[in-house]
Amino acid sequence: MTEEGGFVSLYLRMYRNKILTGLILFLICLTLFPLLNTAFSQYVCNQNCAPNIYGCNAPLTCYNTGTTQVCRNPNCLTDVDCVCPTPTNTPTPTPTPIPKWSKLKDASFSSINSLSNPMPAVVVAYDGDDNTNRTFIITAASNVPGSVDAQSIDLNGASKSSKDWYTTAAQGFSKTTSMTPTDFLSYVKSRKDYSNITNLHDISTNGYNNKIVVTSGNLTVDDSSINTSSSNLNNKNLVIVVFGDLQMNTVSFAPTSANIAFLVTGKITFADTTTYGKGIFVAPTIDIGTSANQGLKIVGNLIAQTTLTNNRKWAVNSKPSLFILFDKSQYLSLLPYLSVSNYNWQQLK
Amino acid sequence: MKNRKSQVALITVMILATILTLVLSASFRTIVDTQTSKLEEENQKALAAAEAAVEASIKENGTTTVGQGSLENISGISGGATVTSLADHTFTSNRVEKNNQYTFYLANYNPDTKTLGTSSLAQTVTICFQSATTNPALEITLLKVASIKRYVVDPSARITNAALPSSICPDSTYAYSYDIPSADISTDSQLIIVKAVFNGTKLYFSRSSNFELQGKAATGEVTSDAGVSKKVYLFQSYPQIPSDFFDTSF
């Protein structure tokens, strides 16, 4: 035996009991620490924590399990309530405000522009002629809708129509305007019978009906005076070519037993207060006014050949701010007037 | 000296001959020009008279005679125009340009009263079309008394969900056709409006029975007193609704 070996042996014999006691304590701790770890209680954050099942009160620290944030007692040293920091939630996206939008019935749509008409997720019917379908062109039960043709089409995911016929520039669609109201006026002056008027009263004064009338300047339609009253148009079939601008000021333009088409070389402006227009409205530019809680319904047709300005909306934007109901009967009643002729000329000898 | 006189005489004769040639040539040319001008004038005059006769015939829906009635101011020309019957079970339109449309009559249209009937024959109507370049597509609108039906046909499938046409047409010069079934037409159809998309095309309509008239036509033939004769044909369709005033747009 060496001198060192004798020293260790002597040391072990002297402190054997203490060493055994330390070893036993070490083993006890080794056993209890895992137990303490598994005893950590978990609580949903922002709740006061009750003492855990081993009598260990909070403090609790927060950690994220991957699916939820929970709290646990890491060391059972201090008796405090569990108040976790308010979790930072992912911000809820603010819904993009749906701007003014339009809906058609029984129509066919063809535009030189892009169609940007974001329909809301939930649609409320404009009135009894409309329905709640999230569809750009709806139809009466017996009718079939037309195609939607534009440079591009954005309906915010809504359908075009029950047939879903459409084409865009990407598919080869392009369009130019062949006949403007100005072109039609030239045609009328060279080929059709017409009469000149200066205001609406001239129509009733002269008993004009079933014909084309042409203004020499701007025209205003309202009910403020005999010259502008829409009642001058009652019981008439007329194509009114306005050489200038048309101002529609009536709240409801609905002449009785009448079919009226306005072909305007300048601009058609509907007053903010106008709610209804029965007729065929054609112009390069149409402004249907501004409102915070009022739409516009057109029965007939509306054709803005270049630009439509629509600053109308409803307080609840799930209703269309412009609702156009295509009325074929007006076209048929005005067929001889709202039309041109096609010629085929041949020299045989 | 004698030789010199002879030379002068010869030169004089030559100069005179040249002058005479020039004068005669100019004179001949003037005469020919005058005759050509007169002939051209006669041609124009006869053509204008023939056109006036057919237009008057269409307007009056009857026979017209140059020098009488609405044509009484035309003199030096004889002849007139008569209305041409258009009753047929086929009809070919003029070329319908891209994005324009043709209004085809299934019900009777009275140009005098300017009224459109409300009844039609319940027969299938075939519409043929084609172009030598880009294929046209058609959007067809059937206007009935109480409803509107539409059809979209595109041989090149550019319009989403459009029908494909048949490649059989009663007139084999057309590449594509589409049938509007008799059940859809029924007895209450008034108009078929056909819009050409992507390219223009002539439209060929056919069915088993004669169609309603699609317009008025007249043929005029006149002869001037100088013997110039002209014959012209004019077809004027019934009212056509421009597509720019028909499709909703903004």
**What pLDDT score was predicted for residue A93?**
54
Residues on chain A touching B245 (C-beta within 8 angstroms): 179, 184, 261, 263, 280, 282, 303, 338
Residue that is written with structure tokens 């156009």 in the block: A324
Q: Which amino acid is at B13?
A: V
Check pLDDT > 90 for residue A341: yes
For residue range A307-330, what is the model confidence (pLDDT) as tens digits? Answer: 999 999 999 889 999 999 999 999
The answer to whether the CB atoms of B247 and A146 lie below 8 A apart is: yes
Residues in contact with A130: Cβ distance below 8 Å, sequence separation at least 6, in sequence order: A103, A105, A138, A320, A323
Q: How many CB atoms lie within 10 A of CB B19?
A: 10
Give the rounded distance of the alpha carbon of A328 from its chain centre: 28
The tokens describing A345, both together, are 């000329």
The answer to whether the CB atoms of A113 and B219 lie below 8 A apart is: no
Which of A305, A338, A339 lies at the smallest CB-CB distance from B249? Answer: A305
Q: Which residues pair with B195 in a beta bridge?
A: B101, B139
Q: Which residue of B has its CA nearest to A332?
A: B116
The answer to whether the CB atoms of A303 and B247 lie below 8 A apart is: yes
Residues on chain B touching A143 (C-beta within 8 angstroms): 147-149
Which of B100, B221, B248 lies at the smallest CB-CB distance from A104? Answer: B248
The answer to whether the CB atoms of A335 and B239 lie below 8 A apart is: yes
Q: How far is B210 from chain A (nearest CA, A)?
A: 21
Whether A208 and A236 have beta carbons less than 8 Å apart is answered as yes
The answer to whether the CB atoms of A340 and B232 lie below 8 A apart is: no
Q: Which residue of A has its CA nearest to B214?
A: A342
Q: How far is B211 from chain A (nearest CA, A)?
A: 18
The tokens describing B178, both together, are 């589409």
Check pLDDT > 50 for residue A76: no
**What pLDDT score was predicted for residue A52?**
46
Residues in contact with A127: Cβ distance below 8 Å, sequence separation at least 6, in sequence order: A297, A323
Q: Which amino acid is at B178?
A: Y
The tokens describing A283, both together, are 């112009």
Using DSSP bridges, classify how beta strands A102-105 and A322-326 pair: parallel, antiparallel or unpaired.
parallel
**What pLDDT score was predicted for residue A57?**
46
For residue range A100-141, what is the model confidence (pLDDT) as tens digits? Answer: 899 999 999 999 999 999 999 999 999 999 999 999 999 999
How far apart CA A244 and CA B156 sit, in angstroms, is 42
The answer to whether the CB atoms of A171 and B150 lie below 8 A apart is: no
Q: Classify residue B168 by its DSSP letter.
A: -
**Nearest of A298, A328, A314 to residue A103 by alpha carbon:** A298
For residue range B190-228, what is the model confidence (pLDDT) as tens digits? Answer: 999 999 999 999 999 999 999 999 999 999 999 999 899
Q: How far is B209 from chain A (nearest CA, A)?
A: 24
**What pLDDT score was predicted for residue A20?**
78
pTM for the structure as a whole = 0.77
Whole-angstrom CA distances from A266 to A203, A284, A302 are 21, 7, 15
Among the residue ranges A29-33, A281-285, A341-345, B29-33, the one predicted with the least confidence is A29-33
The tokens describing A292, both together, are 């915070």
**What pLDDT score was predicted for residue A80?**
46
pLDDT band (50, 70, 90) for residue A79: very low
Which of B114, B143, B240 lies at the smallest CB-CB distance from A340? Answer: B240
Residues on chain A touching B232 (C-beta within 8 angstroms): 345-348
Mean pLDDT of chain B: 93
Q: How far is B219 from chain A (nearest CA, A)?
A: 9
**What pLDDT score was predicted for residue A241?**
98
**What pLDDT score was predicted for residue B26?**
86
Residue that is written with structure tokens 């309530």 in the block: A81
The tokens describing B225, both together, are 């007193």
Check pLDDT > 70 for residue A280: yes
Check pLDDT > 60 for residue A70: no
**What pLDDT score was predicted for residue A53?**
40
Check pLDDT > 70 for residue B242: yes
Which of B94, B219, B248 lies at the smallest CB-CB distance from A342? Answer: B94
Chain A CB within 8 Å of residue B59 CB: no
Average pLDDT over residues B144-162: 97
Residue that is written with structure tokens 């010259």 in the block: A227
Complex-level ipTM: 0.83
CB pairs under 8 A between A and B: 177
Q: How far is A275 from chain B (nearest CA, A)?
A: 19
Q: Which residue of B has its CA nearest to A171?
A: B158
Average pLDDT over residues A211-236: 95
Q: How far is A283 from chain B (nearest CA, A)?
A: 9
Residue of A176, A178, A192, A305 to mutate, interface with B, max B Cβ within 10 Å: A178
pLDDT band (50, 70, 90) for residue A71: low
Q: How far is B8 from chain A (nearest CA, A)?
A: 59
For residue range B176-188, what is the model confidence (pLDDT) as tens digits? Answer: 999 999 999 999 9
pLDDT band (50, 70, 90) for residue A46: very low
Expressed in angstroms, the distance from the first to the final Cα of chain A is 146
Instruction: Considering only residues B36 and A142, tell me which one the structure prediction assigns the higher pLDDT.
Output: A142
Which of B114, B143, B161 lies at the smallest CB-CB distance from A165? Answer: B161
**What pLDDT score was predicted for residue A92?**
60
Mean pLDDT of chain A: 85
Check pLDDT > 90 for residue A81: no
The answer to whether the CB atoms of A175 and B99 lie below 8 A apart is: yes
Give the rounded distance of the alpha carbon of B71 from its chain centre: 22
Residues on chain A touching B230 (C-beta within 8 angstroms): 347, 349
Residues in contact with A184: Cβ distance below 8 Å, sequence separation at least 6, in sequence order: A241, A263, A340, B242, B245
Instruction: Considering only residues A192 and A56, tell me which one the structure prediction assigns the higher pLDDT.
Output: A192
Q: How far is A280 from chain B (nearest CA, A)?
A: 8
How far apart CA B2 and CA B241 sit, in angstroms, is 94
How far apart CA A155 and CA A132 sit, in angstroms, is 15
Which of B148, B198, B230 lies at the smallest CB-CB distance from A172? Answer: B198
Which of B116, B162, B231 lies at the smallest CB-CB distance from A335? Answer: B116
For residue range B90-112, what is the model confidence (pLDDT) as tens digits? Answer: 999 999 999 999 999 999 999 99
**What pLDDT score was predicted for residue B1?**
65
The answer to whether the CB atoms of A342 and B236 lie below 8 A apart is: yes
Check pLDDT > 70 for residue B241: yes
